[in-house]
């Protein structure tokens, strides 16, 4: 069925067994000496075992003093070769090929971590979080960096790796910044025209070839289109690609966007176009005769097959999809599509954790990064387990417990599973989140979990079922401040009410109290500017007591969300603390002065949530083991809910 996806292909002298690539993704499992840690090795071997054709590891630094992040991988010292050799052996055991992405972070090197000023083509600061001005590199220093790449490649080859990839994308890091007209202001041979900005990459390629020969494959990652005004366009990238082929590049991995200006396109979140760089990779295929790898929100094997079949790419990078399910290739090859863990594009556990300096995790795959520690082990004693609540926490706990051999009964008071996910998937561009519940419910049934819908768990039910273990996953409820004057007004509803279908969703003018992610997504759902005369407009005013809105969102979807709120003319008032709700509006304090807003049909509360757990105390002493997890314990993200569910399912 997927004949293109599972056909072999050559990249230079390297034969890859199928067209699925794990692209370089920073996962944060590094150690101070830059060697490949055991956690790294377990992570990559799990994906090799799962059937991927080619693994390209996260970026490895080529210079000891310029490192990417806290504890990056490194290939700047011969002492690191042995750990890479061990990784290569682990990956090769399963028939996969292994490459490493080589990077000098250049301007992205963080001075507060290294104590050394970052370097770059010119003393032009980027727009990253640290915004440090790099020191302009001299020509002798450039030559030294070129040699660093060559020596790192030599080490990769000696370790038994099959290829290297040079990071030259997104106007980012050293090579990317040299290619960028925004950061490269040089007037010597390394700056000015596109050909001159490309010169450092060409010299890196020449140096690598001189060191390891023509037969060792080199891949270059590049942006097909930088997606920003003044950035490199697609036809310029095509021109650049032809030059790279002439210089001996064996494959191109085509991305898009820039960091950080168009970061959402570099790591596209839920709601952005699937395979959003496919037309870029197709355009590259029109001008080069080497394999072209497409990367960017290719999250299902059927979409991957479509890209290959229609000539948009020769291989497909499926990074977050393989992070979510390392067994994706094997499952796809056997036709077990319903068993594939779906990437929902939330970016919470992968990108979101790493940018906070933590290990990458995954909302839909709590075992990501803990493959060895979270191997499912059969329970020593089979127990009767009752799970109260069918949201992500309860479903994950029920699934894991059942897979371990327990007898599991899950009760959900509503007529459908999903809990808050059912509401979270309603706002625009959020529908993919619902895949999590579909997957968990399907797998729970297959595992033998008995699902009971429309039935709340009570002490009486506990007495009837007589479980050995009760897992309380009863979720949360909207926070309604009882001491707020006017809260009892009939025109006051919650964001949950609106997303569940309350008639307030048809109002022409509403005010939302709370500018967190729930409030902002509700505003996105409701707001409609008056430009379209065929549609009824809805004006939304959003009040937030902090200095900014959507601060609890991931960076990539937040960028797009705020753009939409601006386009829909949502009126946003920050530093506004509500003092009273009126029949048609609110009184609020802003910068020490009372203000009033009137003329609204509804006041919508999005002021947070509170845990719901009346069960654990009511059954105290009646059941041997009782656990409270997810929002019932403390309201947080779905990432935390599934993690706790997985933990409890393994513990009991």
For residue 249, which of 206, 312, 285, 210 has the smallest C-alpha distance? 206
Contacts of 473 (CB under 8 A, 6+ apart): 387, 388, 389, 390, 391, 393, 394, 397, 628, 629, 630, 632, 641, 645
Q: Give yes or no for a cis peptide into 260 (omega within 30° of 0).
A: yes
Q: What is the mean pLDDT of the chain?
A: 96
pLDDT at 190 over 70: yes
Report pLDDT for 218: 98
- d(CA 472, CA 555) in angstroms, rounded, equals 32
State the pLDDT at residue 517: 97
Q: Which of 18-27, 114-123, 275-284, 302-311 has the lowest mean pLDDT?
A: 114-123
Does residue 531 have a pLDDT over 90?
no
Say how far apart CA 468 and CA 485 lie, in whole Å. Answer: 46
Top pLDDT among 54 and 271 is at 54
CA distances from 360 to 66, 324, 369, 552 (A): 22, 11, 7, 18
Alpha helices in 286-318 (DSSP H): 301-309
Reply yes or no on whether the pLDDT at 319 is more than 70.
yes
**Which of 95-104, 225-234, 265-274 tops mean pLDDT?**
95-104
When pLDDT is cut at 50, 70 and 90, the band that residue 113 belongs to is: confident
Average pLDDT over residues 369-391: 96
* 413-469 confidence digits (pLDDT tens): 999 999 999 999 999 999 999 999 999 999 999 999 999 999 999 999 999 999 999
Q: How many CB atoms lie within 10 A of CB 273?
A: 11
The 8-class DSSP code of residue 352 comes to I
Q: How far apart are CA 440 and CA 473, in angstroms?
A: 15
> For residue 634, is it left (φ>0), alpha (ψ between -120 and 50) or beta?
beta
Q: Which of 172, 190, 411, 439 is catalytic?
A: 172
Answer yes or no: are the C-beta atoms of 386 and 469 closer than 8 Å. Answer: yes
Has 172 been annotated as catalytic? yes
What are 18-33's pLDDT values in tens digits? 999 999 999 999 999 9
Mean pLDDT of all residues in 319-338: 98
In the predicted model, is pLDDT for residue 522 greater than 80? yes
The mean per-residue pLDDT over the stretch 556-571 comes to: 96
Kindly report, residue by residue over 217-250, the tens digit of the pLDDT. 999 999 999 999 988 999 999 999 999 999 999 9
Bridge pairing between strands 585-590 and 576-582: antiparallel
Describe the crossing of helices 81-92 and 139-158 by its angle, rounded to 10 degrees: 50
Examine the pLDDT at 493 and tell me if it is beyond 90: yes
% of the chain residues with pLDDT over 70: 100
Q: Tell me: the pLDDT tens digits for 598-643?
A: 999 999 999 999 999 999 999 999 999 999 999 999 999 999 999 9
155: left (phi over 0), alpha (psi -120 to 50) or beta: alpha
User: In this structure, what DSSP letter does residue 89 have?
Assistant: H
- Overall average pLDDT of the 127-149 stretch: 91
Are 121 and 185 in contact by the 8 Å Cβ rule? The answer is yes
- Alpha helices of 582-627 — where are they, by DSSP H? 615-618
Helix (H), strand (E) counts: the chain = 23, 28
How does pLDDT run across 533-555, given as a tens digit for each residue? 888 899 999 999 999 999 999 99
Which segments of 180-293 does DSSP mark as H helices, in order?
Answer: 194-197, 199-212, 234-246, 263-266, 278-285
Beta-sheet strand order (sheet of 585-590): 576-582, 585-590, 593-597
| 160 pLDDT higher than 90 | yes
Banded model confidence at residue 129, pLDDT cuts 50, 70, 90: low
Secondary structure (DSSP) of 24-60: --------TT-PPPHHHHHHHHHHHHTT-SEEEEEEE
The pTM assigned to this predicted structure is: 0.96
Greatest CA separation for the chain: 82
> How many residues in total does the chain contain?
652
Residue 260 has pLDDT above 90, yes or no: no
SS3 state of residue 97? strand
> What confidence score (pLDDT) does residue 69 get?
78
- Cα–Cα nearest to 156, from 106, 91, 202: 91
User: Using CA atoms, how far apart are residues 651 and 395, in angstroms rounded to an integer?
Assistant: 15
pLDDT band with cut points at 50, 70 and 90 for residue 360: very high
Rounded to an integer, the average pLDDT of 63-91 is 94
């Amino acid at each position: 069925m997927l004949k293109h996806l599972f056909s072999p292909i050559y990249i230079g002298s390297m034969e890859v067994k199928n067209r699925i690539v794990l692209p370089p993704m920073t996962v944060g499992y590094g150690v101070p000496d830059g060697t490949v840690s055991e956690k790294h090795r377990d992570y990559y071997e799990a994906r090799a075992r799962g059937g991927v054709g080619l693994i390209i590891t996260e970026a490895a630094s080529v210079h000891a003093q310029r490192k990417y992040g806290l504890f990056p991988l490194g290939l700047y010292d011969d002492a690191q070769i042995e750990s890479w050799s061990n990784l290569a052996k682990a990956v090769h055991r399963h028939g996969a090929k292994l490459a490493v992405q080589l990077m000098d972070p250049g301007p992205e090197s963080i001075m507060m971590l290294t104590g050394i000023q970052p370097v770059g083509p010119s003393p032009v600061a980027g727009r990253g979080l640290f915004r440090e001005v790099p020191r302009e590199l001299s020509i002798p220093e450039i030559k030294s960096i070129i040699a660093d790449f060559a020596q790192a490649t030599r080490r990769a080859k000696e370790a038994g790796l099959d290829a290297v990839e040079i990071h030259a994308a997104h106007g980012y890091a050293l090579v990317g910044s040299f290619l960028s007209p925004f950061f490269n202001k040089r007037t010597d041979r390394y700056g000015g025209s596109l050909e001159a900005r490309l010169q450092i990459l060409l010299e890196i390629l020449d140096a690598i070839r001189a060191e390891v020969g023509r037969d060792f494959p080199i891949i270059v990652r590049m942006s097909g289109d930088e997606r920003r005004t003044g950035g490199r366009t697609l036809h310029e990238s095509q021109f650049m690609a032809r030059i790279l082929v002439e210089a001996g590049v064996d494959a191109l991995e085509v991305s898009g966007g820039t960091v950080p200006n168009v970061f959402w396109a570099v790591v596209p979140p839920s709601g952005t176009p699937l395979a959003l760089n496919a037309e870029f990779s197709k355009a590259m295929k029109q001008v080069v005769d080497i394999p072209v790898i497409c990367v960017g929100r290719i999250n299902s094997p059927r979409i991957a097959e479509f890209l290959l079949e229609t000539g948009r790419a020769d291989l497909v990078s499926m990074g977050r999809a393989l992070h979510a399910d390392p067994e994706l290739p094997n499952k796809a090859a056997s036709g077990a599509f319903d068993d594939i863990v779906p990437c929902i594009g939330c970016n919470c556990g992968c990108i979101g954790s790493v940018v906070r300096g933590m290990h990458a995790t995954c909302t839909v795959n709590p075992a990501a990064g803990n493959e060895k520690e979270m191997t499912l082990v059969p329970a020593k004693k089979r127990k009767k387990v009752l799970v109260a609540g069918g949201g992500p926490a309860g479903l994950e706990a029920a699934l894991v417990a059942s897979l371990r051999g327990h007898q599991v009964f899950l009760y959900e008071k509503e007529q459908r599973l999903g809990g808050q996910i059912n509401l979270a998937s309603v706002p625009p561009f959020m529908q993919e989140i619902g895949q999590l519940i579909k997957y968990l419910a399907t797998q729970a049934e297959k595992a033998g979990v008995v699902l009971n819908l429309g039935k709340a768990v009570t002490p009486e039910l506990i007495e009837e079922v007589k479980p050995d273990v009760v897992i309380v996953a009863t979720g949360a409820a909207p926070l309604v401040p009882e001491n707020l004057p006017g809260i009892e007004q009939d025109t006051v509803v919650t964001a949950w009410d609106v997303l569940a279908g309350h008639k307030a969703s048809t109002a022409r003018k509403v005010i939302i109290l709370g500018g967190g992610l729930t409030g902002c997504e509700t505003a996105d759902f409701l707001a409609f500017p008056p430009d379209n005369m065929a549609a009824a407009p809805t004006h939304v005013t959003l009040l937030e007591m902090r200095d900014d809105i959507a601060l609890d969102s991931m960076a990539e979807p937040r960028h797009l969300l705020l753009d939409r709120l601006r386009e829909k003319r949502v009126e946003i008032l920050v530093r506004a603390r509500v003092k009273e709700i009126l029949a048609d509006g609110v009184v609020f304090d802003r910068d020490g002065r009372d203000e009033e807003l009137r003329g609204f049909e509804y006041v919508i509360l999005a002021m947070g949530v509170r845990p719901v757990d009346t069960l654990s105390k009511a059954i105290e002493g009646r059941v041997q083991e009782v656990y409270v997890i997810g929002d019932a314990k403390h309201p947080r993200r779905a990432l935390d809910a599934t993690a706790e569910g997985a933990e409890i399912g393994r513990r009991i």
